[in-house]
Structure 1
Amino acid sequence: MSWRDELRPPSFRGVLFHIEANTRFGGRRGFTYEFAKSERSSDEDLGRRVTRVAISAYVIGPDYLDQADDLEAALQREGAGLLVLSTMGQATMRCETYQRIETKDQGGLARFEMAFVRSQVGVAAPSGRENTQAAARAAAAQNATAAELSAGSDDDWS
């Protein structure tokens, strides 16, 4: 089976769009210690970076304004949603930023530059209502879970 047979229509929260380019960012976090008056240094690996995705997309056609409004509404909604990309698969992501671009020379077309970050699904913020030992233990357990989920893996894309 060729890669073309596996292409999926790209969408965010079920709103379809066309892709010009998409880029996935990752890597590892770290801190490099450089010692004064020395040629020595030390590097500390702090774990995987959170996965980010940048997309150049567009909507086109006689109803492009409705399509663009629908996509913009999906991008503005709170929380994470399902992002489906033609070649990368799908993952739960949150829109960090977007730009909607329309020009007088390209009628019937709206371009979008979108940036997404992998969602921390299942990780809730501590309530902060009670400052007891039980609440402290619960917060510590939650922080440990958040640390485990912080970066994710390539397996997050299906």
Structure 2
Amino acid sequence: MMHNGQLVAVKKVPVNLMTHHDMDREYQIYRKAAHPNIVKLVEKPRIHSDNKWYIIMEYISGETLEKIMFNQKLTHRIKSKIITGLCEGLFHLHNNDIVHQDLKPDNIMVKSDTNEAVIIDLGFAKVLPGWPQLCTKYWKHSICSSRDPDTPLGSARLSLRCVGDG
């Protein structure tokens, strides 16, 4: 969809599913999360005549990580670029005390022209001051030790372990 001459993606949410307070909270999280590896809001969400919130975001030309992660044509260089972008986006979120809470391959877009990862859908995200310090032990022992290096993005998951251990 075009919006003010810019190609955008529009997420439509019925007003009965999201209060003004919840939408304002999500808007503030998007503003705080501004980073090249995190999808950007184009404007503050508004309710339109069809009784839905319109959340207008930048359009990411590409596919979700879910769709491409088993593609045998992904070289180690491309995988590394995807994971680097994902880690940079997460690092930014976490440094701003933002927890995504719904991070999964369907919520990571990979740009078709650059193979850069962009984290999308911050609808469940929360601001939790000081949370990274509380989770360091959990990250090291629970998440990182369960990663299998033989999975399609195994080398990338090992990189996540290094981030968690740092």
TM-score range, shorter chain: under 0.3
Larger Rg: 1
Q: Hey, which of these two has a bigger chunk of helix by percent?
A: 2
Q: Hey, which of these two has a bigger chunk of strand by percent?
A: 1
| TM-score using structure 2 length | 0.26
